[in-house]
Each structure stands twice: as structure tokens, then as C-alpha cells.
Amino acid sequence: MMNPFSPYQTTTTVIEPEVSEDLRLEEESEREKLWKIIAHDDPFTTMEFVVRIMVQIFKKPLVFAEAIMWQVHNEGVSVVDVLPKSEAEFRVRKATAAARLEGFPFRFTLEPE
């Protein structure tokens, strides 16, 4: 009978790494060209809503979200982020949908970097 605690017994376990889908997407995104997300001012969208969208959808810290909001308000436009095109389009769709649900015409455009 073999002793399971014997230091002379060896077992070989082969662990094959799993490549997660997220990692593949990140690699594909790194190869995509970057696009600027530009927010545009309008007379109806509230400042509070713009800050909330910047934090929730664009993952900006509050201080940066407020700075973007003020730049949109004072200058008419602000670059929100620079991302691979697919990610930029996804976030713009999400932010636009959120704006429409609350009755705001807040709008974004995309430009190549």
C-alpha cells in the first residue's frame, strides 16, 4: 500500500492556462485605432446628469467628471475619452440611451484620434 504522505512519491499535474474571452477582447481592442468621444452642450441637459453619465458610463472620478461637465458647459464641447472604436461606440450608445430615457438631448460625436 502506498503512503499518500510519503515525500518519495511524486505526482505530475499539468495545468493548462485558460485564455479568457476578456483578454482576447482587450488584445483586439489594443490593435484597433483610437477614437475621441466628444460631448456637446445643449440648453436642456442638466449639469447633474452630465456628471452622473461621466461617472457611471465613462468611469471618470468625480473631480474629472465635473471638469468635463464645466468644459462642455463653457466651451460647448469636451473630449470625454479616447478609446478603441468599438468601446467608444458602445459607451456612446449607452450614454445616449440613458439621456433619452431621462428626456435629455445630450449628444456625442466620435472622431479618429
Backbone angles phi, psi at 11, to 5 degrees: -130, 145
Q: What own/partner pairs with CB < 8 Å and gap ≥ 24 does 22-27 have?
A: none
Question: What's 86's domain CATH number?
Answer: 3.30.1390.10
On whether residue 89 sits in a domain, the answer given is: yes
pLDDT of amino acid 109 = 97
On whether residue 25 sits in a domain, the answer given is: no
Q: What own/partner pairs with CB < 8 Å and gap ≥ 24 does 59-62 have?
A: none
Between 2 and 73, residue with greater pLDDT: 73
pLDDT higher than 60, residue 13: no
Under 8 Å between Cβ of 41 and 72: yes
Give me the number of domains the chain comprises: 1
Segment 66-99, tens digit of pLDDT:
999 999 999 999 999 999 999 999 999 999 999 9
Segment 27-71, tens digit of pLDDT:
655 578 999 999 999 999 999 999 999 999 999 999 999 999 999
Show the domain range for 72: 33-112
Torsion (CA) 84, 85, 90, 94 in degrees, nearest 10: 100
pLDDT confidence tier of residue 2, bands split at 50, 70 and 90: low
